[in-house]
Amino acid sequence: MLNFDEARFLRIQSGAVALARPIDEAVGRLLKAGKENIFFLGTGGAAILMQPAAQFLERCSTFPTFCDLSAELMLCGSRHLGPKSIVVIPSRSGTTKESVEALAYCKSRGATIISLTAHDRTPVADGADYAFVNFAEDDTSSESFYLQALLIALSVMRHRNEYDAYDTVVKELSLLPALLVEVKRAFEPRTHRLAETIKDSPFHIISGAGSTWPEAFYYGMCILEEMQWIRTRPVHASDFFHGTLELVEKGVSVIIFKGEDSCRPLVERMETFAAAYTDKLSILDTKEMKLPGLSERVRALVSPILLATVLERVSAHLEVLRNHPLTTRRYYKKVAY
């Protein structure tokens, strides 16, 4: 596979899964101490990667769950944030300005902080009450953060007696790192073709629903826009029919992510429409990905992880085709703003 270090990838994703026990111990301790709600914060892409886990809790648990933007929370506040709050703050670098400030703000309100970083001895890791560190770089951090957030959500539900399959699911998740490598390998023949479609189109509509929507939002904003300077319109599949559909015509690239949760029909409706009006429709469907040993229940939970892992392959080819390294920036951390 192009520019892919298999051993490194396995080490990072296995490291994320290995955090299951310490995360579960921390969450159990906090809930036993009387914590009454949980906030998933973060900044930019890291915050987006928290959304599937937050959504899972919102829909399957009665534990009050909030998913907010760090900068906005500090300006607007929240009556729900206080000494009985758990706050989850991810930051790959551990130095993201807004996340560092949000951590201090939440601690000033008495909240307990769980940090997820790729580096220790950083402001976010050092400032947290519970710091979980799993080294990752940009090309491996999505899967790692998705997994860690999911483990937090599963643990909350386990300790509240709202989820009876915790041990089984975590056991299946331990198989995932090796399975992801095989998913990448199987997808590689298709990767170059999809990267060429993205390269040759000046504008893309990218969409998903349920747990795949955050990955559509993330890939459109953080990869295609930030790392490749490609104009992209991320739109939720249910919102597509309230405005964005008018942009679809022959030659317009539409990229749709299909997962395996209950929101799949929303994406299928969009797919049917787009197929009738554009000749540049690309579908990434997790149902086509082989995951021996994983139950349907777990497949539905890991759909965004599967999409992230194949899209990493697309990005690897895209930066070569466009002669535009993913690390190239004009403004981000380059100028004052």
Residue-wise pLDDT tens digits, 246-275: 999 999 999 999 999 999 999 999 999 999
The predicted structure's pLDDT at residue 87: 98
Distance CA 238, CA 115 (A): 32
The predicted structure's pLDDT at residue 161: 98
Q: Write down the domain spans for the chain.
A: 6-165, 176-321
Report how far Cα 188 is from the mean position of its chain's Cα atoms.
21
Residues contacting 75, CB < 8 A, separation 6+: none
For 326, phi then psi, to 5°, come to -65, -15
Which residue ranges of the chain lie beneath pLDDT 70?
none
CB atoms within 10 A of CB 336: 4
Residue-wise pLDDT tens digits, 34-80: 999 999 999 999 999 999 999 999 999 999 999 999 999 999 999 99
In this structure, the strands spanning 112-117 and 130-133 are parallel
Extract the tokens encoding 330. Answer: 């004009």
Residues contacting 72, CB < 8 A, separation 6+: none
The predicted structure's pLDDT at residue 11: 98
Q: Which CATH number fits domain 176-321: 3.40.109.10, 3.40.50.10490, 3.40.50.10320, 3.40.50.720?
A: 3.40.50.10490
Q: Do domains 6-165 and 176-321 have the same CATH topology?
A: yes
Pick from 115, 155, 147: which is nearest to 17 by CA? Answer: 147
Reduced to 3 states (helix: H, G, I; strand: E, B; else coil), residue 174 is: coil
Task: Please give the CATH superfamily to which domain 6-165 belongs.
Answer: Glucose-6-phosphate isomerase like protein; domain 1 (3.40.50.10490)
If you count DSSP H runs as helices and E runs as strands, how many of each does the chain have, helices first? 14, 9
The predicted structure's pLDDT at residue 336: 87
